[in-house]
Amino acid sequence: MVWQSKAMTMIVCLLVALFGVGGSPPDSAYQKSIDKYRADRIKELQAPDGWLAVAGLFWLHEGANSAGSDASSVVSLPARAPTRLGSFELQQGRVRFVAERDATITAQGQPVSEFVFDLAKGQKSAIASGDMVMFIIKRGDRYGVRLLDPQSSARTNFKGLRYFPLQTAYRVDATFVPYATPKQVPVPNVLGMTVPMESPGYVTFTLQGRTRRLEPVYETSEHEDLFFIFSDLTSRSETYPAGRFLHAPLPKNGRVDLDFNKAYNPPCAFTAFATCPLPTKANRLQVRIEAGELRASVH
């Protein structure tokens, strides 16, 4: 009967949501660890210096680059900033900020009239005007001013994150295959650049009855964990179109705990002013991975 068919469909959907695709229900310890992971993730996004606060990226040209709320400024700031704040001066890879005489600028909480950025320190070498923070990023041979604004609309209007149901089937035990020596992988980014990133090897795992392969890279020079930049068939409609990120612990005895329930959206899903890496061709999986973060709705 029709009503019996509908009832059966509802039961199947409920079982999938509760137990996953071929998986078992998550135990309380695992559920708590995922809950903590998600809470920490939201806290990081919503922080005054988190990705939701990234409200501008201004590429500098050699010489003086004006900054302020004046619409003609190279570094165009929100209306509450002074009309003329000062100038970012780029000279052969060195960036110095010179403040206007009546502008109030601080660095590490102390008033400054001039400031030379230490690019090696990234966000830790910054200036502030009120609650707005500016620091320098370098991409290839380009230098840009990144603006953090805790009053950005993305941050103030943030509605939280959405996820696929927690499914233990998407926490897989992967085999790590090391390269004889770590290799440089050309990783594309949203700027159209290709950036070399170091990869120590690749992982193989079984998902939905087939062997899959992903190649991680090290995100930082500290080599703290494995960083996966990947896409899958859910990118077409349910997850971020350009792909997602996933961190996994370093291999232990040739195994990697690969938990796709922790797959998350890249910064570009939350701000137009990020310079996200994109999946290589090898990391575009032809399978649906119904786990982790769904598309964000912040724009």
Mean pLDDT of the chain: 92
Confidence (pLDDT) at 25: 78
Q: If you average pLDDT over residues 186-191, what whole number do you get?
A: 97
- Could you write out the three-class secondary structure of 17-77? HHHCCCCCCCCHHHHHHHHHHHHHHHHHHHCCCCHHHEEEEEECCCEEEEEECCCCCCEEC
Do the Cβ atoms of 207 and 214 come closer than 8 Å?
A: no
Confidence (pLDDT) at 14: 43
- Percent of residues, the chain, with pLDDT higher than 70: 91
pLDDT interval class at 27 (50, 70, 90): confident
Q: What is the pLDDT of residues 90-112, one digit of tens each?
A: 999 999 999 999 999 999 999 99
The answer, yes or no, to whether residue 264 has pLDDT greater than 50, is yes
The answer, yes or no, to whether residue 22 has pLDDT greater than 70, is no
Residue 148: strand pairing partners: 54, 133
Radius of gyration of the chain (CA): 23
Strands 94-99 and 114-116: antiparallel
Token pair for 40:
């920490």
Q: What is the pLDDT of residues 206-259, one digit of tens each?
A: 999 999 999 999 999 999 999 999 999 999 999 999 999 999 999 999 999 999
- Percent of residues, the chain, with pLDDT higher than 90: 89
CATH number, span 51-149: 2.60.200.20
Confidence (pLDDT) at 296: 85
- The answer, as to whether pTM is greater than 0.95, is no
pLDDT interval class at 23 (50, 70, 90): low
Strands 142-148 and 54-59: antiparallel
Confidence (pLDDT) at 297: 72
Residue range(s) of every CATH 2.60.200.20 domain in the chain = 51-149
The answer, yes or no, to whether residue 273 has pLDDT greater than 80, is yes
pLDDT interval class at 12 (50, 70, 90): very low
